[in-house]
Amino acid sequence: MPKIKELTALEILDSRGRPTVRATCRLGSGAVASASVPSGASTGAAEALELRDGDPHRYAGLGCRQAVGHVNGEIHRCLCGTVFDDQASLDQSLIELDGTANKSRLGANAILSVSLAFARATAAESEVPLYSHFAEMLGRCRGKMGQAPGLEVASSRIRENSETFREGRPPTPNPNSHEFGHSPSKNVASKAPNARAPEPAPCSAIRRFPRLTINLFSGGKHAGQQLPIQDVLIVPASPTTVADSLVMASAVYQAAVRLTAAKYGQRWLTADEGGLGPPARSPEELFEDAVQCIRDAGFEPGRDVCLAVDVASSHFYRDGRYDLRSQPCSGSELIERLCAWTRDFPIVSIEDGLAEDDWQHWPALREALDGRALVLGDDLLCTNPQRIARAVQTRACNALLLKVNQIGTLSEALHAYLLARAAGWQVVVSVRSGDTEDDWFSDLAVGWSGDQTKAGSLTQSERLAKYNRLLAIEAELPLPIVDWPHVAEAGVRTAPPS
C-alpha cells in the first residue's frame, strides 16, 4: 500500500496564461509523479471551488499561491507518513481535511492536484501504465460495491425522493455520504509501515477506445461571444481507430481554415480550445459552414463525419428566456429550434441545450431528441452525484460530460461516472478551456472506458498532448473505437437545408 513521503506544489500557467496548480507526490517506495489541474471558463454554478488569491495586482486576482500553500503546508503535514489503502482512502482524507461542501477552504485545485499526483505515483510504484491503474481503480470499485461507493444508498434515495423531484425541490442529502458534499466521520487512512502495492489485475476491462469529438468552430465564452453558442464539433464517424480519426479531423479542420479565410476574410485565429471563431450570423450558418467543410475535405456529412454542439445555454438565459440574438424564446421554443437543428444537419449530440437551472424543460428536450441525438449534461450536472441523481430521476438527459475538476477528486468523479453508467447513460470525458500539456486525461478516458472524448481542436500544444497520448496508448492497445454514432438509426440528414 502506498505511503506518502512528501507533497509539494507549484503555481504554473495554463493555456490561457492564467495560474493553476501542479502537485508532486513522492511515495515511501521512491516513486514520484506530478500532475497539473485544468480550469474552466464556462463553469457551472455547482462546481467545486477553485481557490484564487484575489490580489488585483497579480494575475488580475487569479493567482493560486494560497492553493499551492495549502499543498505545501497543511495537506503535506497531515498526509505525510500516512499509508493509504487505495485512491478512495486518500481522496476521503482530503475531503475530510477540507471540511466544506464545495472544497472552498483548501481549494478544489489544490485537492485535485494531490488526488491526481497520488494516482500517477501509485501507478509508477506498481509499474503499470496510468490507464491500466485507472482501469484497475474502476474494476476494484465495481468489485467491492457492485457499483460506486454509496451508489446503493443514492439509488434508494432517488426512489424515495421521487415525489420531491416532481415538486421541483432538491433531494434530501445523506449526511453520512460525501457524494452530497458531506463526509463520513471515519477516516480509512492509517499510519503504518509501507508495503508494496499488490500486482494489478490485467486490463481486460478495456475493450474499446472512446470516439473523438473535436472542436471546429467556437463562440460564447470560448471565442469572444461573436455567437451565443459555445462550440461546434466534428465527430469522425466512419474511422475505427484514433489515428484514422485524427487524419480525417485534420482534413476537415484545414478545410475550415480555408473557408474562414475565403468567406469571412479572417486569419487563422483560434479560440480557447483551438476552434476557429468565424463571425457567422447565426448558429445555422455555422452548421452550414461545418457541413461544407466536411464536403470540401472529401467526406460525406452524416456518414463519415457528424456534428456535435455545445450550446452552453446557461450563458444566454435570463429571467426564464433564452436570447440567441434573434428573438428571445421560451424553453419550449428553444427545444423546437434544437430539434430543427438535428433534422436539418447531421448533429448527433447536443450539450447543455437548456440552462443548468431550467429543470422544468430538460425532460421534454430528452424526449424530443430521443433516437436522434445525445442529450448531454455539463453545467446541468457538474460531475456532481446529487445533480446526476436528480437528472436520472427526472429523465433530464442521457449522457454525462465528465470533468474531474468540477467535483475535485478522482474518487468522486468515479462515483459520478458509475451513477451515469447505472442509468444507462453515455459518458463523455472532457478537458477544460484552460488546460496544460499534462496528458492524464487520455489515460483516464481509456481506463474508464469513456464513450467519447472532448479534448479540443487539432491545434495548440495542450490539446495535442492529449491526442498524442491517445495515439501512444493505441499503439500499446490496438482496440476498436466505440461504435457510435449510429447515423442510420439517428436518421440524420446528410445535406444542409435548401
Catalytic residues: 273, 403
Distance between CA atoms of residues 375 and 248, nearest Å: 25
Helix axes 410-422, 108-126, angle to 10 degrees: 90
Assess contact for 302 and 310: CB atoms under 8 A: no
Task: Give just the sign of the alpha carbon dihedral 324, 325, 331, 334.
Answer: negative
DSSP of 441-453, one letter per residue? HHHHHHHTT-SEE
Nearest to 3 by CA among 80, 105, 70: 80
Three cell numbers, residue 273: 480550445
Alpha helices in 265-361 (DSSP H): 283-296, 331-344
**3-state DSSP call for residue 493?**
coil
The count of residues in the chain is 498
Distance between CA atoms of residues 251 and 265, nearest Å: 20
Within 8 A by CB and 6+ apart from 334, the residues are 313, 322, 324, 353, 354, 361
Strand 399-402 and strand 374-377: pairing?
parallel
DSSP category for residue 178: G
Nearest to 272 by CA among 463, 63, 429: 463
| 3 state SS for 340-379 | HHHHHCCEEEEECCCCCCCCCCHHHHHHHHCCCCEEEECC
Greatest Cα pair distance, the chain, in angstroms, is 72
